[in-house]
Every structure is written in C-alpha cells, then in structure tokens.
Amino acid sequence: MTNLSHVVHTDSEALASAAARAAAELLSARIAAAGRATLSLTGGSVGIKTAAALAGETVDWDRVTIYFGDERFVAADHPERNDGQLDEALLDSLGDRPTVHRWPARTAREDDVDAAAARFLEALDVPDGEQPIFDVTILGMGPEGHVDSIFPHTPAVAETERLVVGVRDCPKPPPERLTFTLPAVRRSRHVLVIAAGEGKAEAVAEGLGGASPSDWPVAGAVGVESTTYHLDEGAASALD
C-alpha cells in the first residue's frame, strides 16, 4: 500500500522548490538503480513554478524520459498548450538531453480527439502487466479535485482500463483534451500532488481523507510506493 503523506510550506514558491527537489532526488535514485527514469509533468500555475524550479536541480537528464500528464487538443503553437509553457519553464534549458514525448496537436486533417488519444496510446512503450510506467508523476489539482484532465463525474474519471483517453466537453476550457487516466497515474512509483491556496483546501482534505475518486479525482491519484502532497498553508488549512 502506498505511503501517503503531506508537507506544508510557507508559500507557493517554497512549495515548488521543495517538490522539485523531491522529484530530482527520486529521479536520481531511480537512475542510480535502473539506469533510466521516467517523469510525468503537469501544467498550471504551481506546476509551471515547479518545472522552473526543477531546471535548477541536478539530474542526469540524458537518462530521463518525460511525458505530460495531459494536454489541450489545440494547434501545436497554441498558447494554451501545456508543452509550450513547460518548454519555457524547463525543457528549453535542457536541450535535447531528455527524451520528450508530446501529445498530438490538432490539425486540419487530424481533428478527432479520440483518434488522437488512440494514436498516442498505440505509440506508448508501456511495460508489461502492472509494472510502473512513470517513476515520478507531478500533479497539479483544481479546486474540485481534478488532476490532469480528469474531472469529477466524467467519463475520464470512470475509466478503469484504458491508460489514455480523449476528453470532450471538458468543464474547463478548452473543451477537448488528451489525458492519462487514473489507471495510468496509479502506475507511478511516486506521485507528488502540488496545491496552493485556500480554494484547494477542501479538495486536499478529501484527497488525503480517502474520498471517492468519482467525486474527488485526486483521491484516486496514488503512487505504487509513495504519494506526497506538497501544500502551502492555504491549501492545508482544512486539515486537522
């Protein structure tokens, strides 16, 4: 059973720095043990801060494979794509050292989100059985507890088998997205949930309290070995 814990930091900057340091240490430990490591990054304001802080950490990036937890199904150069923001925060500084797998972009000829999800999944090099896909997964979280593009009471949160799905009618724009599912997230050795602000406090309490993932998707985001919430004081304010 996963080791579930939380750490409270003074503000979002301290949170991002600590989460980046933890991710770097876990990646380096995995590289030392297995020769390579796999990281799933997240977007959002705290996610971008964490990625920027990770740029200052010492990691053998030549031995790291990077994925993005989800992506907006828009054109490759659209400003709302997560990968563009993460490029600026982290990946541009790393050059071609890590292997980076990007989600498909919408084009005039390829505009079906479900077909794009199936194409991406087919190209994934997924370990056999239930072996971990990711060594470290960093997840931002919305005030309703969504992680990646997995929102409460949607087909994505109800998915129990597929690792990747297309999302239509997303409650938060843009309406079409691509996302790893909870079955994929749960094939992470270590999950780091990052959340800042009092608006996230109820979702944090529900996630740590073992709520139904259908109601609070973050509750279903647990790692094989550890799940750690990195919080600022506002996000931790509903905890006992």
Q: What is the pLDDT of residues 226-235, one digit of tens each?
A: 999 999 999 9
Question: What per-residue confidence (pLDDT) applies to 90?
Answer: 98
User: For the chain, what is the mean pLDDT?
Assistant: 96
Q: What is the pLDDT of residue 105?
A: 97
Of the pLDDT bands very low, low, confident and very high (cuts 50, 70, 90), residue 2 is: confident
Q: CA-to-CA distance for 166 and 116, rounded, in angstroms?
A: 7
Q: Is the confidence at residue 38, as pLDDT, over 80?
A: yes
Place of tokens 């003074």: 10
User: What's the whole-number mean pLDDT along residues 180-201?
Assistant: 98
Specify the residue for token string 């800042």.
196
Structure letter (DSSP) for residue 87: I
d(CA 101, CA 164): 14
What mean pLDDT comes out for the span 109-137?
93
CATH of domain 3-232: 3.40.50.1360
41 phi, psi to nearest 5 deg: -95, 160
What value does the mean pLDDT take over residues 204-224? 98
Residue 222 · residue 4 · CB < 8 Å: yes
**What pLDDT was estimated at residue 110?**
94
